[in-house]
Chains A and B, each alone.
Chain A
């Protein structure tokens, strides 16, 4: 049956009636956030104390944690250091499907290694190197210790880990300095966190990060069109403290809907980055010392057309001016390749290499079925639910 457009239209019209009011309220919250931002941008000690006090009341508190750079400090594009190695990795996955003929999983990591400006010895540039690693999951690989089928989140966690493992493997051969990029935050947002498989995956992920730290790789997670509000949440602590409601931090959101990027829209000029700030959150607590997660905002747009990204970095990069500057300059150079739609070229290419198409998924399934039949192992039919779905949308 199609969507009930009559019902949907009614709800859309109701939303429209409220939208103007909501927009007005949002503008008020934005203005308030901007005032607080400018007022407290260099009150780093005050803000840090607020975070500590709020976190003591709410262990799940999530907000930015100031470091040593004023919140409204801006940093212009540094010169791009020559002779670096640039790596990017992305992953794609097939989740086990109990409705399919065979249950299987796959993780495909695509990586690309680029040495800008380094020729191949005969005067011409060397084409970047593409690497693909495909990992299939069958039989016992598909189940948790408790016997449940792997969830999409657990497969995604394995994928996150595989991406970083490939980067670490490539980074070993350098040459330094090496910049290694992935799309999305470094912080892991996978559920359920209590499961042993998640804890095990997280430990392995941290081990790989440690290896990247040992190699002094400028590792970063790039977030396009960020909807983060960590700095805004930090400013909310000021409001709540004034109200005597600091214990409600996280639950009360006086600046709800205001994104961090709003604060930087006039401040960060094209090519500039914001101050590096720490992340305080329950999941970020797993990343300690040199792995502690930080971030900055970067304007990869051009004059009159700002475009912001959020870049997550571990402490060892945040504390190393050379690596930080290299990362800053490198991201801008890569984003500039895509012209009016800036996004790091190398991350897009890693995605292209990694993606598993629908046809490829079907091809893999057919190969598995063929092998099982060759071995005399019976193969199930699709579930009746899946058959019904496929019939509905076929032809």
Chain B
């Protein structure tokens, strides 16, 4: 399956990064989706999309006050004007020398590194490695919509795993979350509440 590039890196730290993408690419990334940033020598970083942001600027704010906006103007702003969609990614692991680790990456990515959507096979490989260790990066992150993020992620991966006859994956994931959050009842209830909205 051809890799789907969603954008290029704007800024990064050890724990997260922000990717800029053109509006035409913006149809691809989804909240909770798993992405990969391939770097050198078989080293690559995995991340979860936790925010997708479209910034405005003075001109856009002015355009919205007009009675009517021509399609040409809309296309001009989406295609030509340098206001990229910003996709925020939480680092949840990395691959090195063929091994997947659910640890924070030893080195962050660099400016303009390309970032790709993980296809079903790759996503399943990442989420099956270890014992859901990457969940702690989500649970530890401050100011994230933890419940909704995990729900969206599990919903997506449930579909991928089901296609591979691994329908028990999502149940195992939820069990792990309950174990990890047994001492944080309010957050656990938030997460379980979001998970309960997942349609079967």
Contacts and interface: CB of A to CB of B under 8 A. Distances in A.
Contacts of B71: 117, 124-125
Nearest to A130: B80
Contact of A127 (B59, B67, B68, B79): B79
5 contacts: A114-B76, A127-B79, A337-B63, A337-B69, A339-B65
A130 to B, nearest CB: 5
Contacts of A338: 62-63, 66
A282 interface: no
Interface string B17-61: 000000000000000000000000000000000000000000100
Nearest to B77: A127
B80 A128 contact: yes
Contacts of B78: 127
A84 B44 CA distance: 50
Given A127-B78, A127-B79, A128-B80, A340 B72 contact: no
A337 B66 contact: yes
A345 interface: yes
Contact of B63 (A115, A130, A339): A339
Interface in B58-100: 59, 62-76, 78-81
Contact of B72 (A127, A341, A348, A352): A127
B68 A128 contact: no
A304 to B, nearest CB: 15
B19 to A, nearest CB: 22
Given A117-B70, A117-B72, 5 more contacts: A125-B71, A127-B79, A336-B68, A339-B63, A348-B59
A339 B71 CA distance: 16
Interface of A: 112, 114-117, 124-128, 130, 333, 336-341, 345, 348-349, 352
Size category of the B interface is 20 to 34
A68 B75 CA distance: 42
Given A125-B71, A348-B59, A339 B66 contact: yes
A154 B136 CA distance: 65
B1 to A, nearest CB: 24
Interface string B160-191: 00000000000000000000000000000000
B70 A116 contact: yes
Interface string B136-170: 00000000000000000000000000000000000
B70 A349 contact: no
A348 B58 CA distance: 12
Nearest to B78: A127
Contacts of A112: 76
A125 B65 contact: no
B84 to A, nearest CB: 15
Contacts, number: 57
B46 to A, nearest CB: 34
Contacts of A125: 70-72, 74-75
A349 B74 CA distance: 13
A339 B66 CA distance: 4
B80 A337 contact: no
A128 B76 contact: yes
A352 B82 CA distance: 11
B60 to A, nearest CB: 11
Contacts of A115: 72
Given A337-B66, A338-B63, A339-B63, A349 B76 contact: yes
Given A128-B80, A130-B80, A345 B73 contact: yes
A128 B75 contact: yes
B75 A336 contact: no
A127 B72 CA distance: 6
A341 B62 CA distance: 8
A-B complex: 10 closest residue pairs judged by Cβ atoms = A339-B65, A127-B79, A125-B71, A127-B75, A339-B66, A128-B76, A125-B75, A338-B62, A116-B72, A130-B80
A340 B75 contact: no
Given A337-B63, A339-B62, A341-B62, A126 B73 contact: no
A319 B197 CA distance: 69
Residue picked from B63, B67, B68, B72, most chain A C-beta under 10 Å: B72
A332 to B, nearest CB: 12
Contacts of B74: 125
A355 to B, nearest CB: 13
Contact of B67 (A126, A336, A345, A349): A336
A127 B63 contact: no
- For B68, B75, B78, the residue with the greatest tally of chain A CB atoms inside 10 Å of its CB is B75
Contact of A336 (B66, B72, B76, B81): B66
B106 to A, nearest CB: 33
Contacts of A130: 80
A207 to B, nearest CB: 31
Contacts of A333: 70
Contacts of A336: 66-68
Q: Residue among A128, A337, A340, A348 with the most chain B CB within 10 A?
A: A337
